[in-house]
Amino acid sequence: MTAEGVRNTTRSRIVEFGGNTALLIALFVLFAVLPFLTGGDQDGFSTRVVWTSLIVAGLFRASERRFFLWSALFVAVPSLVDRWFAVPGDAAVAPVLAAVFVFLVAAHILADIFARDQIGFDQIVGGVNVYLLIALAFSRLHLAAALHRADAYLMGELPLPEWCLMTGQGLEDTLLYFSFTTITTLGYGDVRPASHLARVLATGEAVLGQLFIAILIARLVSIYSRPVRGAE
């Protein structure tokens, strides 16, 4: 292998390992740590910093393929600007852009996994990231639907935004919770989809989540545990 080939291989491994690790950390902070720091303030400084870190990690992970990088950058910039400066306009646009960005990063990781003949620990972490990214992307789409129509999701008989305002709960956090209960098919004991769009999104997320586990994770585990040729 030439010196340039060695450098490219090394860079690819750094991007893969560093990008997957950074993404997993950012997602963990977003899901498990941030709700305790913000107290329901979805526009606070901590939320903005974590989302910025997530976007930077996603762009770094997608930097190996120009199409994914430039496509992700195209939708990430306006989403990030809106997150920090609250640009006037349709409030549902920014969550949709964020969802497109997250889906692009997930698609890049999937393309990388499917391109491998052998699967290692980095690809397993990548598979975990993809599953979490799918839930995150759909949470943004659910948010866009709720902002577009207040009664798209209900808590009891109350529109979800009204319930969040009454209880002090963050709408983003509540819909992130809803997204995970949907993708894991835990059922709707509280928040439930009411509008046609909300039900379509919930159905699509549940089906995609189950297909992901049944197909991709099974493939990852089978390839990861397969003996390497010539090892015996």
**pLDDT for 38:** 61
- For the beta carbon of residue 152, count every other beta carbon within 10 angstroms: 23
Q: Which two tokens stand for residue 157?
A: 């008989």
Q: Which residues contact 168 (CB under 8 A, 6 or more apart)?
A: 40
Give phi and psi for 226, each to the nearest 5.
Answer: -75, 135
**pLDDT for 42:** 62
Q: Which two tokens stand for residue 155?
A: 């808590």
pLDDT digits (tens), the chain, 232 positions: 555 544 456 666 677 778 889 999 999 999 988 877 766 556 678 888 888 999 999 888 888 778 888 888 888 888 888 888 877 666 788 899 999 999 999 999 988 888 777 777 888 899 899 999 999 999 999 999 999 999 999 998 999 999 999 998 889 999 999 999 999 988 788 999 999 999 999 999 999 999 998 887 777 677 766 665 544 4
**pLDDT for 227:** 60
Q: How far is CA 76 from CA 24, 81, 118, 162, 195, in A?
A: 18, 9, 31, 29, 28
Torsion of CA 184, 188, 194, 200, to 10 degrees: 20
**Three-state DSSP class for residue 151:** helix
Domain boundary assignment for the chain: 3-224
